[in-house]
């Protein structure tokens, strides 16, 4: 493989295994595409599928999966805890290897155009692909959900980038955009005081003055009788894991509390961990091409 693009579409079906399998089959059948992971969430009534490959094939595969989802999923009867606005709710494209963010943006527009024109589903570009700054944030775009989209798309601010000006009657609206890999990173504290987790979350997250590319919330883990700072690291190259981790350790100490562990949910890019080792070992002049596997799989 030369260029590697990752695609992580979210589908509004988390209960009917057979339907999801038919969507995932669109990924499996595509030559040159590697299905990395997929999982269903019953409460959210939503599924996440992860695959990688050469960009053109990734776009083709994402289009086919989106087409299949539009055939199988009807938002008019869909219920679940997670906010959603489309059968294929969102399609993020992520640069993995030998591909720039700008190229990912170009590919996202190609994909959005096909979905809009061939499937008659309105598409709003988001994140790095957004056509206006207020459309970078998916939560802002999705507010009002499927049911509210019929009114919302009439506003100039939310006019779709591609496809018709009103939602598809059963498949709704899809967001497509390029973004950095996201790392779901949680840090556990040896206390059951939720207030402390919330204060630390506030200290580390960009929104309230902390690290720009870190989103954080405090949670209780009731079965373990502890609390957790739960984070989405949205650009580990600029807000690295180790820096956030050490800040949490410091802030926890301020309350007489210790970090007892952390967890990574889902997949993590190798370099996020290599950067962490580099930092703690105080490596001088280290570069990624010193990692044996990068030589083996490099071009």
Residues near a copy of itself (CB under 8 A): 4, 6, 34, 36-37, 52, 96, 181, 188, 241-242, 245, 259-264, 266-270, 273-274, 276-278, 280-286, 290-297
Catalytic residue of the set 44, 78, 82, 168: 82
CA-to-CA distance for 108 and 139, rounded, in angstroms?
19
82 is catalytic: yes
CA-to-CA distance for 183 and 233, rounded, in angstroms?
5
**What is the total residue count of the chain?**
299
What is the nearest approach in angstroms of a copy of itself to the Cβ of residue 208? Answer: 23
What is the nearest approach in angstroms of a copy of itself to the Cβ of residue 278? Answer: 8
Contacting residues for 210 by C-beta, under 8 A, at least 6 apart: 202, 203, 204, 216, 247
What is the nearest approach in angstroms of a copy of itself to the Cβ of residue 136? Answer: 24
**CB nearer to a copy of itself: pick between 139 and 281:** 281
What is the nearest approach in angstroms of a copy of itself to the Cβ of residue 260? Answer: 7
Contacting residues for 98 by C-beta, under 8 A, at least 6 apart: 2, 3, 4, 299
From the CB of residue 288, how many other CB atoms can be counted at a distance below 10 Å?
A: 13
Count CA within 13 A, CB hemisphere, residue 23: 33
Give the three-class secondary structure for 209: coil
CA-to-CA distance for 106 and 61, rounded, in angstroms?
16
CA-to-CA distance for 145 and 91, rounded, in angstroms?
16
**CB nearer to a copy of itself: pick between 97 and 166:** 97
CA-to-CA distance for 91 and 293, rounded, in angstroms?
29
**CB nearer to a copy of itself: pick between 217 and 267:** 267
**CB nearer to a copy of itself: pick between 17 and 297:** 297
Contacting residues for 105 by C-beta, under 8 A, at least 6 apart: 128, 129, 178
What is the nearest approach in angstroms of a copy of itself to the Cβ of residue 261? Answer: 4
**CB nearer to a copy of itself: pick between 131 and 287:** 287
Instruction: Tell me which residues are annotated as active site.
Output: 82
């Amino acid at each position: 493989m030369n260029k590697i693009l990752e695609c992580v579409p979210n589908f509004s079906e988390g209960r009917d295994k057979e339907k999801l399998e038919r969507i995932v089959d669109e990924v499996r059948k595509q030559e040159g595409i590697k299905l990395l992971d997929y999982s269903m969430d019953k409460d959210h009534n939503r599924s996440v599928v992860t695959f990688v490959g050469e960009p053109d094939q990734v776009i083709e595969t994402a289009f086919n999966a989106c087409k299949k989802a539009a055939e199988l999923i009807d938002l008019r009867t869909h219920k679940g805890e997670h906010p959603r606005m489309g059968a294929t709710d969102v399609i993020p494209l992520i640069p993995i290897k030998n591909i720039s963010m700008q190229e990912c943006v170009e590919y996202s527009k190609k994909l959005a155009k096909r979905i809009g024109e061939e499937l008659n589903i309105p598409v709003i570009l988001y994140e790095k692909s957004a056509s206006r700054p207020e459309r970078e944030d998916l939560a802002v775009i999705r507010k009002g959900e499927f049911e509210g989209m019929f009114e919302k798309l009439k506003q100039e601010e939310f006019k779709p980038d591609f496809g018709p000006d009103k939602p598809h009657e059963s498949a709704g609206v899809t967001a497509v955009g390029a973004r950095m890999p996201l790392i779901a990173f949680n840090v556990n504290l040896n206390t059951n005081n939720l207030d402390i987790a919330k204060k630390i979350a506030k200290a580390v997250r960009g929104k309230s003055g902390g690290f720009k590319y870190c989103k954080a919330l405090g949670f209780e883990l009731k079965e373990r009788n502890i609390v957790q700072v739960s984070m989405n690291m949205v650009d580990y190259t600029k807000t690295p894991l180790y820096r956030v981790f050490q800040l949490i350790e410091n802030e926890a100490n301020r309350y007489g509390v210790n970090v007892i562990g952390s967890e990574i949910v889902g997949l993590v890019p190798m370099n996020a961990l290599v950067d962490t080792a580099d930092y703690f070992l105080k490596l001088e002049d280290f570069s990624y091409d010193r990692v044996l596997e990068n030589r083996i799989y490099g071009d």
